[in-house]
Amino acid sequence: MAKKSPITGFYQWTVAIALLVLSSACKSDATMLCQGYYYSEEKAGEVIDALRREYTDAARWESRAGAIRELILRGSGLDNMPVKNPLNPIIGKARVYNGYKVQNVAFESLPGVFVTGSLYTPSGTSRGIPGILSPHGHWNNPDNYGRYRPDAQNRFATLARMGAMVLGYDMVGYGQMAELGWEHDHPEALRLQLWNSIRALDFLLLMGADPSRIASTGASGGATQTFLHTAVDDRIKVSVPVVQVSAHFFGGCICESGMPIHKSADIQTNNVEIAAMAAPRPMLLISVGGDWTKNTPDIEYPHIKYIYELLGKADKVENVHFADEDHGYEYNKRAAVYPFLAKHLMLDPGRVLNPDGSYDESVNVIEERVSLYPFDDRYPLPHHAILSNDDVLWE
């Protein structure tokens, strides 16, 4: 049996419930699903060693990466990309704070499918600046999940004060849309969620983000979304997956491993290779001793760095490991991410530094959940909005 790393109680519960949903929703594809703790830690190490022997030069890795990209797109049902309909953005009134502003936003990723979020921009100019996507992971308390969490709002605000345009957007079945009928535990959540991320980038560019300076960062399930999106979308220039890249754990939610994106009849991959598809673009891995990323310094990171070395870009990938910390995106992890993003996106950390060199988040305003809802009496939900996963039309 796979050896489980210590993780938070709620996430462990989420993994168990999600795997039950997976087993019942995807019976026809069960042999092609790689779910949860798919390997033991020992087996995962053996798999990584074997993969290293498969590609010994850049050409072999690039061929492998191309096959993995096809696997992800085919397995998620996005091999035939939908036509991109107009985003029809809904932009709320700006709330101006110390060095940044916040607007509630929504955009139409597919006809009738509205993705809700928060757009943070620096005071002053908001065009031609770096853009950062911030997908989120899984929690069960609507007042303290996703983009509403204090750690998320602190991250968004601090990066905006450094000069970035930051979009925190709701995953499928989260946020205001969850209250209107959307569900997260749906067999095709992964497909829609990945598509929404692609359209979220379209939205950032529509709002004026610099296409040459686009990043994505999220923790846990948000990190899964970061590396999946980066693997299939070359427009992302910098990738920062936090506490999720693991050789033995494939994601415990249906939105991460509920569709056959890791395995087909002729190829099998894992999240280490998928994350490595960011190469040669800059990537920072954040790992901890208290979850499934505990082996990153010895297993996952060396293999990813090996791939970067094949491409002659070993200096573009880094790992910061917190051996005594647990799953999350707390201050220490944010403080490791800020300088990396500042370096590769050309942000100005001097705007947010204390005299002792620490990052000043004290001026950030943590807003209440309902104040971050895009739809209200002033900005009503469009009459044609879809309120159920099963009503999505892909054609």
What DSSP string describes 216-245? EEEETHHHHHHHHHHHH-TT--EEEEES--
Q: What pLDDT was estimated at residue 29? A: 63
Residue keyed to tokens 């605000």:
157
Q: Looking at residue 319, what is its pLDDT?
A: 98
Residue 141 confidence (pLDDT): 83
Higher pLDDT, 13 or 100: 100
CA-to-CA separations, 350 to 25, 122, 210, 338, 346, in angstroms, rounded: 50, 14, 21, 11, 12
pLDDT > 90 fraction of the chain, expressed in percent and rounded: 86
Residues in contact with 292: Cβ distance below 8 Å, sequence separation at least 6, in sequence order: 4, 5, 7, 37, 244, 246, 248, 249
pLDDT at 177: 87
- 83, pLDDT greater than 60: yes
Is 1 a residue whose pLDDT tops 90?
Answer: no
pLDDT computed for residue 88 by the predictor? 97
pLDDT tens-digit series, residues 375-390? 999 999 999 999 999 9
> How confident is the model at residue 179, as a pLDDT?
87
pTM check: above 0.75: yes
> Which pLDDT score is estimated for 387?
94
Q: Is the pLDDT of residue 231 over 60?
A: yes
Q: Looking at the domain assignment, is residue 245 inside a domain? A: yes
Answer yes or no: is 71 within a domain. Answer: no
**Is residue 168 in some structural domain?**
yes
How far is C-alpha 201 from the geometric centre of its chain's CA atoms?
A: 12
Mean pLDDT computed over every residue of the chain: 92
- Mean pLDDT for 186-211 is 97
Question: Do the domain assignments include residue 261?
Answer: yes
What pLDDT, on the 0 to 100 scale, is given for residue 28? 43
Inform me whether the pLDDT recorded for 105 exceeds 80.
Answer: yes
Query: 208: how many CB neighbours lie within 10 A of its CB?
Result: 14
Q: Is the pLDDT of residue 12 over 60?
A: no
From CA 321, how far away is CA 210, in angstroms rounded? Answer: 30
Residues 6 or more apart whose CB falls under 8 angstroms from that of 64 comprise 54, 55, 273
DSSP string, 119-178: EEEESS--SSEEEEEE-----S-GGGSGGGSHHHHHHHHHHHHTT-EEEEEPPTT-THHH
Q: If you average pLDDT over residues 245-266, what whole number do you get?
A: 95
Please indicate, yes or no, if residue 205 is contained in any of the structural domains.
yes
**Residue 58 within any structural domain of the chain:** no
Maximum Cα–Cα distance across the chain: 60
Say what the pLDDT of residue 197 is: 98
Q: Quote the pLDDT of residue 180.
A: 86
CATH code for the domain in which residue 341 is found: 3.40.50.1820
Task: Please determine, for residue 284, whether its predicted confidence score (pLDDT) is greater than 90.
Answer: yes
Per-residue pLDDT reduced to its tens digit, 290-309: 999 999 999 999 999 999 99
Pair 145, 179: CB distance under 8 Å: no
Residue 372 CA to residue 177 CA, distance in Å, equals 12
The fraction of the chain above a pLDDT of 70, given in percent, is 93
Question: Does residue 17 surpass a pLDDT of 60?
Answer: no
- For residue 281, what pLDDT band results from cuts at 50, 70 and 90? very high
Helix (H, G, I), strand (E, B) or coil at 110: strand
| pLDDT of 140 | 81
Give SS3 for 70.
helix
Domain that holds residue 141: 90-372
Specify if 366 maps to a domain: yes
Residue 121 token pair:
């921009």
Domain count, the chain: 1
User: pLDDT at residue 15 above 50?
Assistant: no
342-370: per-residue pLDDT in tens?
Answer: 999 999 999 999 999 999 999 999 999 99
Residue pLDDT, tens place only, 327-345:
999 999 999 999 999 999 9
3-class state of residue 287 by DSSP = strand
Residue 343 lies in a domain: yes
